[in-house]
Chain A
């Protein structure tokens, strides 16, 4: 028996049933868990803005930008999980859609500086919304990194960035319903800490997601 034959014989010894976890299933589980986690923590730390349901239904712009925010998170996390599976598809092509939607989402708030979706008001302002956004995102990011670590991430830094952006965007989006609606405040105190989690994701990924 040659070395290779012996090696293969050893490898196949004790072969067991292996179940592939679908990227869509992972995305679904992640979305539900991350939103429940961030929404609950936000609720425990302080009440949501009063009349939020009415605002969502009455302002198409506010509703639409929230939907785009959600779509951005879905695409970011789906792409991150997809990056954890070996594939020959172009890295740039895979990144275009999630990053474009993220930019469009942020663009809504830049547009809102001139044409806000809701009348800017200081009512129901949260004292520490920026740190809440950042802190709530960290456990989500850590769990996501541990999850992806079990897969086969060939581009650890990109995967970390996408996971960080997705994890940071969840509390950032929730803050639109829990804190005041004022585009400048949203960009600086909700979106920016969310984006910073993306960089934390890159840093953590270099340690936690070394290519297998």
Chain B
């Protein structure tokens, strides 16, 4: 068998394997779903490396893609192929993430241009250092803020995902945002309430 044929056979094998895991996942099989997401995580990582090169926040991208697959699980038609469905989600999700990052970068550039007179660049970098701010939050608060504000999940979805009450998620989110606001104020950023 030539290499093209081998590749084709390998793809076919993967396709059947993932299709079967996905059908089991849709039927509520936790182990099959765990295995599927674990395997897809590696595949998505390789795909992103191959197609987008040295992508910043690669792990975030992989996790967002996995979350997208999780949320779109009900749209998979078991009579269709799995690969095109999965890679379409991954491709669009990655493009959205790249666009979002570009928009954020542009906003930061505009912000820095606007504030050039009042704040020196070093201070501005310090202020907009999101990671540093997020690290000031407790693990629970950071999780609630990340899942809702970064990944766009609803509080109900977050509650289901981490297995707590929705009211608890709301409380963590409220406290987290309040802490972030407090930190921003401390850093000298004026916020509109």
Contacts and interface: CB of A to CB of B under 8 A. Distances in A.
Contacts of A13: 30, 161-163
Nearest to A2: B59
Nearest to A20: B77
Given A4-B62, A4-B63, A84-B75, A212 B88 contact: no
Instruction: Report whether over half of chain B's contact residues are helix, strand or loop; otherwise say mixed.
Output: helix
A12 B34 contact: yes
Instruction: Give the contact-size bracket for chain B.
Output: 35 or more
Contacts of B59: 3-4
A151 B76 CA distance: 10
Contacts of B68: 212
A154 B85 CA distance: 11
Interface in B154-181: 160-163
Interface residues of A, number: 32
Given A18-B74, A23-B77, A212-B68, 13 more contacts: A11-B37, A11-B66, A12-B33, A12-B34, A12-B37, A13-B162, A14-B160, A18-B26, A20-B78, A86-B84, A88-B87, A152-B72, A211-B96
Interface of B: 25-30, 33-34, 37-38, 41, 59, 62-63, 66-68, 70-78, 80, 84-85, 87-89, 92, 96, 152, 160-163
Interface of A: 3-5, 7-23, 84-89, 150-152, 154, 211-212
19 contacts: A3-B59, A7-B63, A8-B41, A11-B67, A11-B161, A14-B163, A19-B26, A19-B74, A20-B77, A21-B74, A23-B77, A84-B75, A86-B88, A86-B92, A87-B85, A150-B74, A151-B75, A212-B68, A212-B152
